[in-house]
Amino acid sequence: MMNTISLEEPGRFAFKESPLPSDPTEGEALVRVRRIGVCGTDIHAFGGKQPFFSYPRILGHELGVEVLAVGAGVVHVRPGDKCSVEPYLNCGKCIACRRGKPNCCSVMRVLGVHTDGGMREQFLLPAAKLHASISLSYDQLALVETLAIGCHAVNRAHIAADEFALVIGAGPIGLATMQFAAEAGAKVIVLDVNQARIDFCKKDLRVPYAINAAVQSPVEELKRITGGDLPTTVFDATGNPKSMMMAFDYPAQGGRIVFVGLFQGDVTFNDPNFHRRELTLIASRNALPEDFQRIIRLIESGRIDTTPWITHRGSFIDVLSLFPLWTRPESGVIKAMIEV
Domains of the chain: 2-134+309-339 (3.90.180.10), 150-283 (3.40.50.720)
Is the pTM above the cut of 0.75?
Answer: yes
Give the DSSP per-residue string, 25-60.
-TTEEEEEEEEEEE-HHHHHHHTT--SS--SSB---
Partner residues linked to 5 by β-bridges:
15
> What is the pLDDT at residue 43?
92
> What is the pLDDT at residue 254?
97
Three-state SS for 52-76 is: CCCCCECCCCEEEEEEEEECCCCCC
> What is the pLDDT at residue 268?
96
> What is the pLDDT at residue 229?
95
> For the chain, which residues score pLDDT lower than 50?
none
Task: Tell me whether residue 57 is exposed, middle or buried, using C-beta atoms within 10 angstroms of its C-beta: 0 to 12, 13 to 18, 19 or more.
Answer: buried
> What is the pLDDT at residue 48?
87
**Number of helices (H), then strands (E), in the chain:** 10, 17
Count CB atoms within 10 A of the CB of residue 200: 20
- Closest among 124, 110, 28 to 74, alpha carbons compared: 28
> What is the pLDDT at residue 234?
98
> What is the pLDDT at residue 264?
83
> What is the pLDDT at residue 50?
76
> What is the pLDDT at residue 77?
98
Please name the amino acid found at residue 79. P
> What is the pLDDT at residue 21?
97
> What is the pLDDT at residue 330?
87
